[in-house]
Amino acid sequence: MEKTDFKKTLKHLYRPSAKDFALVDVPTMQFVMVDGSGNPNTAPAYMEAIQWLYGVSYALKFASKTQCARDYVVPPLEALWWAEDMGAFTTGDKDQWSWTAMIMQPDWITDAMFASAVGKARGKLGEPPESLRLDTYDEGLCVQILHIGAYDDEAPTIARLHQEFIPQNGLTENGHHHEIYLSDPRRTAPEKLKTVLRQPVKRV
């Protein structure tokens, strides 16, 4: 059975340049999602969200193999980030952050398969977060770049994106800051972490 790796088949979305900002048109995709708020390094809700996202995602991968005869690599963890005061991102005040943590799912994954996967994960993890869901996300036109380094070192690139590239190219923000975590922080040195930084935009 051939195994699909979406980081390769959707390379333009998951492997941007680390040198320059690039515009990309992101199609509507579906994700398993969980909403929350607070510092991702310390908030129990964020840790719980990650456990559930991976638990359900791997159950769906298994169901896809047995029910659909289609195998794939579970896509990387992603998150949308925002705050009442967006300055919280440049000051590093993570307690003020809100987030939606999510993992992309193939378009052949159905609501019934998702419900069954949640049931299987419940046996290991208990009751799921109230916001756990399978939903679509239509991001559209975005600017993105690959950040190589520690998460806490993203601020200068994000500031350059918002203060220079977006206004200089006749664009304005059109959605939440989006990050895609291509590296496992448990196995990768901070200076080698690879993270896609993405911002939905629209033309002024």
Name the residue range of residue 146's domain: 3-203
Query: What does the chain come to in residues?
Result: 204
Number of domains in the chain: 1
State the chain's mean pLDDT as an integer.
95
Mean per-residue pLDDT, 57-70? 98
Give residues with Cβ within 8 angstroms of 141, minimum separation 6. Answer: 23, 24, 25, 26, 174, 200, 201, 202, 203
Digit-coded pLDDT (tens) for 6-61: 999 999 999 999 999 999 999 999 999 999 999 998 999 999 999 999 999 999 99
Digit-coded pLDDT (tens) for 85-117: 766 666 667 888 899 999 999 999 999 999 999
Global pTM reads 0.95
Instruction: For residue 86, give the CATH number of its domain.
Output: 3.20.80.10
Nearest CA to 39 out of 85, 96, 78 is that of 96
Q: Give 131 or 185, the one with higher predicted confidence.
A: 131
The type of residue at 177 is H
| 3 state SS of 143 | strand
Note the pLDDT of residue 32. Answer: 98
